[in-house]
Structures are given as C-alpha cells and as structure tokens.
Structure 1
Amino acid sequence: MKFVDEAVITIQSGDGGPGCTSFRRERFIERGGPDGGDGGDGGHVILKVDPGKRTLYDLHRQKMHRAQNGAQGMGRQKHGKNGNPCYINLPAGTLVRDADTDQTIVDLTREGDEYIIAEGGKGGRGNKRFATSTNRAPRYSQPGLPGVERKLKLELRLLADVGIVGLPNAGKSTLIAAMSAARPKIGAYPFTTLTPTLGMVTPPFGEPFAVADIPGLIKGAHQGTGLGIKFLKHIERTGILIHLIDAGAIDPQEPLADFTVVNQELTLYSRSLADKTRIIVLNKIDLAGTDHRVASFCRAVPDLEVHTISAAAGQGVDKLIQLLASRLQKE
C-alpha cells in the first residue's frame, strides 16, 4: 500500500427528518386531535482512531463522506428513525484542520480516540407538539434542520519515541533494520528511503520504543528542496533524535560540514526540533580509513557526546539501544 500522509476530504452530517402533520382518524372519533410525530435526528460524522490504520491512503482516494439523514415523523406520534452516523477511521497521530481556515480542530493521538466533527441536524417537531389550549388542531409541523458540511485537511504525523535524521546515504535505513524488525529498502545511493519507516525496538530493559527512519535531508530541505519538509513533520513528536553521520564521508579539513547542514535545516524548520535531546552517532566505522576522520570530528566538538557504530556489521548497535532506553526512561 502506498504511504499517504495527507488528504483533503469533505464531510456532510445528516439532515434532520421533517416532523409530521397528522390527525387521529379512527371509527367513532369524528375529530381526533393532532398526532404527528417528530422527525429523526441526522447522523453525526465521527472521527475515530483505528489501530489497524497506518496511512491516509483510503481517504486520499475517497473524498466525500456522508452520514444518513433522519427519517420523517409519522402519524400516531411515531418518531422518525435517527440517521446512522458516519465513522471515519484514522491512524493514530492524525492532525485535523479546517481546510478553509487552516485552523487546528483536533489532534488524534491515542488508540480509541473519537471526536464528533459534524453533528447531525435535529429532527423537526410534529404537529402534536404545537397543540395548545387555543389551537387544538395545528396544521403545521417543523422541517428538520440541515446537517453540517465541512472540508477537512488531514495530516498524519508519525508517533515515534526516537527519530533518525541525517544526510542521504548516512545509513539510517540500515540502522533501523539492525535495531528493529522493520525492513526498509536499503541501497548505496541517495534517497533510497522515499517514505518514513517505523520500527519497534525491544531493549534488554524498560519498555519497547518506536523508532522512525526519516528520508535524508539535504541543504534547503526546510524550503522543500529534495524531499524537503514533506517528512520533517514526522519527527516533531519524537522525544529523542539520533543524528546519524557517515564517518567515511567526514572531511578532516571540514569535519563538521555535514553535521552543520542538518542542524541548520532542523533549526530553520522548527526551533523545537533543534532543541530536542539529540544523540550524535558516527556510522560505518568498519570502513577502512575512518579512524582519523572520526578523531577529527570528535576534536571539533569536544563538549558533545559522540557514539560510533557500524549498523551494517552490528558493531555498537546494542550499546546504542541500551542508551536510548535509558534516556527515554529519564525523559
């Protein structure tokens, strides 16, 4: 299934059913009183978090969602049937905005969350309701109230504890595959990862945690260059960021060049991203000639904690998992 993290849909709650104008008609009763029943209420449109949903693919295809109208009231004071609600199932982490005003309506983050996004119209009252001491035979009833139509913008933001960021080909997909059961596409060329990947990691202690592999950033990503801001939103909810750097690509003359590019893009996109707890990890240390490159990087950032791994060889990965579990417990 294609990964879709944005969709624009139109919703319509049900109209209320009209009330009934009716009079009692039975043998031996010449002038029966009014007995028109009320119309049924229109169905609500309800947003619901479905644990089985992972993307907005279905909603990207189906643009219109309607609840059922209420039924008309009937004689003998029979109430019209209420309209059935329309449930829209969404993955956890879906942010719902008004498409016309861009105002945030609700952020659905927990399994089982429900939100009535559009109430159905109330059913009209039957003529029985309008009988008074001075008007014992009202010949009118109410129409039902119309439902509500809204245009919504849905935006999925992954719910992960840890996000992995870095330039293309830094080894993010290899690392998430080494840490979890996730099997992202891996290749030795930029932008192998075209969609975010979510993997569950089970540490030797503490709770399991989710790790998100975000497609590689490049200079100008905050303005939409490369894969741009399309996937940066998926790490806004994370507690910790792993800043992964290809140790083999470090230039001893400018050891912080790649590190600075990613930092600047995160800061320009969102100050809160730049302020998140971050763990610097140098990858691919199993490659020949990386020792002096790693040393030059560490000398350039003497006040920062730097960890070294080889995701492909599994070197240092278990230690990194333990570190993440410990940091998440503290967070």
Structure 2
Amino acid sequence: MFVDKAKINVKGGAGGDGIVSFRREKYVEQGGPSGGDGGRGGSVIFKVDEGLRTLVDFKYQKHFRAERGERGGTKTQHGANAENMYVRIPPGTVLIDDDTQEIIADMTRHGQEVIVARGGRGGRGNTRFATASTPAPYIAENGEEGEERWIVLELKVMADVGLVGFPSVGKSTLLSVVSGAKPKIGAYHFTTITPNLGVVEVGDGRSFVMADLPGLIEGAHEGVGLGHEFLRHVERTRVILHVIDMAATDGRDPFEDYVQINKELELYNAKLAERPQIVAANKMDLPDAEENLKAFREKMNEAGWGEVEIYEMSSVTKQGVQNILYRAADLLDAIPDTPEVEEVADVQERKIYRMDKKKDDNEFTIRRENEMYIVESRKLEDYIERYNLQYEDVLQRFATIMRRMGVENALRQRGAVDGTIIRIGSYEFEFVEYE
C-alpha cells in the first residue's frame, strides 16, 4: 500500500521529579539536604531510512510518546535521562507543524535526523535550594512536561526520472518494460493512482530510479483530479520524461497535450519549467503516429521550442526505448545528485518560563466567576506546575511571590475577604487575611 500523507501526534517525555531528602547517616547530626534532580525526558526524533518508500506505517500508528525521565534519588543522586524515541521515515518526507503550517524540516538524506518534540527538563531536588538562611529546604521541582505537537507528513517521491503525461499515454507500460516494477496497466484512464517506482538498468553499468506518476489533467495545479497528489512528487525528480501519445488514440492533439502538461507543471512550481525534459513520442507503432509526429515537430518549431529533445519510441515493441534510457542517464550524470529541498524552519526548543525570567512575567489578570476569583498569571501557573505544593516551604514561597507581584493587594481591592476561593491554574486556594 502506497501512503504519501499522514498526520500524527508526537510528545516528548516529561522530566523526572526532583525530591526532598535529607542525610540520615549515623553520627551525622542535622544532616543537610540530599534530594537529587530528576532526569530529562526523552525526545522524539525523526530519522531518514532509505529502505522505506511509503508512510504506510503511520496509517496504523498515529501517536508517538517518548519515555519520562527517572525521579531523583537520595544522596543527591541524579535520575537517569530517558532514552530518545527514534521514528523512521522515508527520504523525501516533508514535516509540517499542523498548527502553524510551518515547515519543520525537509528530510532527504539517509540518516538525517531532526528533533520534533523535545523532552522536558528534570526537576531540581531540595539540595539545589539550600541557602544560608534556609539550610534545610522542603522544596523540590516537578519534572517539566515534554513538548507536544501534531505534525503532517508529506512524502515527495525521491526518483531520478519522473514520467509525466496525460492518462493512458503509456507511462506504466514503459516503466514495466525498462524495470522490474509491476504497475497496474489497463485500457482506461487513471489506472495509476499512486506513484510506482522501478530501478532501471541502462545496460552500460549505469542505473537510476524511475517513477511512474499519476496522469495529469487540466487544472491539476489547482487540485483538480489527482492534482496536488501528483504534482507533489514531480518536484523531487531530476529529469522529466514527458510521454506523449503520438498516435492520438484518444482523439487529443499531441502538441496541445505537450503545452497543457507543461503549463500545469509551471503553474504549480515555476522551477519545474527549468527542469531537464525529454519528450518520448510513444505509440509510434500505430497508424497516423508518423504523420502526427511530423506535425508535432512543425508546431514545436513555430512555437520556438525546436531545441526540445524528441525521441521516437513504442513501449509495446520497445522500439527506441534504449536510446531514451541512455539520454536520461547522460542528463543525470550532468546534474548534481542533490535533490531540491524547501526552506527548513529552525526547530527550536519551546520557550520555558521561570520565576526569574522577565519583568513581563509579573503581569497578571483577575476576573470573577460568581463567588470565585480567578487569577491568570503565566508566572504563578508555571510555579504551580513546577513545584510540589504539599510542602510548607513551597507554599510560603508561593505566597511571598504573590505578595511581591501585587496579586494579594489586587485581590483585596477587588473585594476578596477571608474565606474567598481563589483559583490559579488547576488549583483552588482560600484567601486568608493575616493580622
């Protein structure tokens, strides 16, 4: 099954929690803090594997979760970092952030890697919070959550030569003749609905990959018919082999076919107009083919395209096929073996907000829902997420931060009194006036 588009969810592993612990050795009075830091969560990493040719694996598995980091230990032992999760993808896969539609990476080389979801940092143990004034802190951080995102994967076939042309011009038959590929062949339009790949042995020691791509129709650049599903794959090919039914068996004009196909290619991507192209005048074994070819050459000259290379052939009798293969191999030898790639966006670690970051972090808003006051503050919500509120030291520190930010006074001015319920993030607190 050929699958060339998929949408998946990736999530980096959460960091391990730091712990609160104290030394308890014999003969050591008032042992100091010994809580270790948690380990970092695993990241989700995509890696190109040239042995893959389709995204079919992502049809059945759509969620990828890296492991969580290990919890910190006593005696200041650092928790183990989690192993990264590697996800194999075929060469030619474009990774797109589903929310922003930004291209994360264009993966073309075997072994190429990119981090798509970073693991969270481990939380700090209470050893990290010891100071001269607080030598035995009951404070520890929770591990940070890993990055999560939805990603769209689009596969653009990595082929050296791409066969283009209207439906039923003989592309699939040609591929079956020159390679070991077994594409579906039939006497009706759109027999090929997904790309077929075959390795072509030229006969002089050279070889290349040829792709039989679904047939184009007018309006394909706007998505008509197979539209973008086809054109996406043409972008990767280094040489275009334009197959034309010179016998006009469907009643179409060969020259008009040539003009229309090239128009669709250029409207989809202007760079395709500059791609080396060979015209394969197919079905030359049928009646009227010679006469049509003569008229085709005349129209090409009149249009100023006399320099376009035209090779006569027949997929059925194999007449002229070898000459086309030699010419395609010669063109490939003259072209750098580096696929064109799209601009790649920098994959950056998501922004982490900490208590001492910026003055802007002190901003907050307060709104009222019935008898409850809701405080919205990035700084306070981050604190709640990062610290274990079961410890008195953590709560006291939290209250001090709120007081310094002006949240306490603001709540009082808005009408909060003893017993008023305050919600911050997912936690609810009771407002208490100290005497």
One fold, TM greater than 0.5? yes
TM-score by length of 1: 0.95
Q: Point out which structure has higher relative CO (alpha carbons under 8 A, 6+ apart).
A: 1
SS, match of residue 247 in structure 2: helix
Please say if residues 6 and 155 of structure 1, whose CA atoms lie closer than 8 Å, have aligned partners that are also in contact: yes
> How far is 1:29 from its partner?
2.8
In structure 2, the residue corresponding to 1:259 is in which secondary structure? helix
Distance 1:52 1:255 in 2: 38
Q: Which residue of 2 aligns with 1:276?
A: 275
Q: Given the alignment of the two structures, is residue 131 of structure 1 paired with residue 130 of structure 2, yes or no?
A: yes
Equivalence map 1:181-196=2 (5 Å) = 181-196=180-195
1:325 to 322, 329, 340: 329
Q: Return the offset for 1:255.
A: 4.7
Amino acid in the other structure paired with 1:170: V
Determine the C-alpha separation between the residues in 2 that align with 1:5 and 1:313. 33
CA displacement at 1:252 relative to structure 2? 10
1:119-174 CA-partner distances (Å, limit 9, x unpaired): 11110111122223443212212222221111111100011111110000000001
Preserved CA contact (<8 Å) 2:245 2:254: no
Query: How far apart are 1:251 and its partner, in Å?
Result: 9.2
Offset of residue 205 of structure 1: 3.8
Corresponding residue SS for 2:244: strand
**Residue number in structure 1 paired with 2:62:** 63
> Could you tell me which amino acid in structure 2 is paired with residue 316 of structure 1?
G
**Which range moved further: 2-11 or 133-142?**
133-142
Deviations 1:90-145 (A, max 9, x none): 11110001111111111110111111112111101111222234432122122222
Write out aligned runs for 1:196-215 (5 A).
196-205=195-204, 207-215=206-214
- Quote the residue 1:315 is aligned against: 319
List gaps (5 residues or longer) in structure 1.
none
Query: Rg bigger for which structure?
Result: 2
Q: Report if the CA contact (8 A) 1:255-1:300 is conserved.
A: no
SS at 1:175's partner residue? helix
**Does structure 1 conserve the Cα–Cα contact (< 8 Å) formed by 2:184 and 2:191?**
yes
Matches for 1:161-180 after TM superposition, within 5 Å:
161-180=160-179
Give the CA deviation at 1:246. 0.7
Query: Which range moved further: 246-255 or 202-211?
Result: 246-255
2:391 matched to which residue of 1?
A: none
SS in structure 2 of the partner of residue 307 of structure 1: strand
- Give the TM-score normalised by the residue count of structure 2: 0.73
Q: Counterpart of 2:242 in structure 1: which amino acid?
A: H
Partner SS state of residue 22, structure 2: coil
Deviation at 1:60, TM superposition (A): 2.6
Aligned-residue Cα RMSD (Å) equals 1.8
- The 5-angstrom pairing of residues 153-168 of structure 1 reads 153-168=152-167
Show the counterpart of 2:111: 112
Q: Aligned pair count?
A: 330
What is the Cα deviation at residue 216 of structure 1? 0.6
2:287 aligns to what? Answer: 288
Asked if the contact 1:162/1:210 (under 8 Å) is kept, the reply is: yes
1:251–1:89: structure 2 CA closer, same or farther, 3 Å change rule?
A: closer
| Residue 285 (structure 1) shift | 0.7
- What letter corresponds to residue 246 of structure 2 in structure 1? A
1:17 aligns with: 16
Shift of 1:300: 1.5
Assess if the C-alpha contact under 8 Å between 2:16 and 2:79 holds in 1. yes
2: CA distance, partners of 1:240 / 1:129: 61
Contact between 1:255 and 1:296, CA under 8 Å: does it hold in 2? no
CA distance in 1: counterparts of 2:131 and 2:59, whole angstroms: 53
Return 5+ residue gaps in structure 2 as ranges.
Answer: 336-435
Task: Work out the CA distance in 2 between the residues paired with 1:43 and 1:108.
Answer: 21
Partner Cα distance (2:218, 2:29) in 1: 87
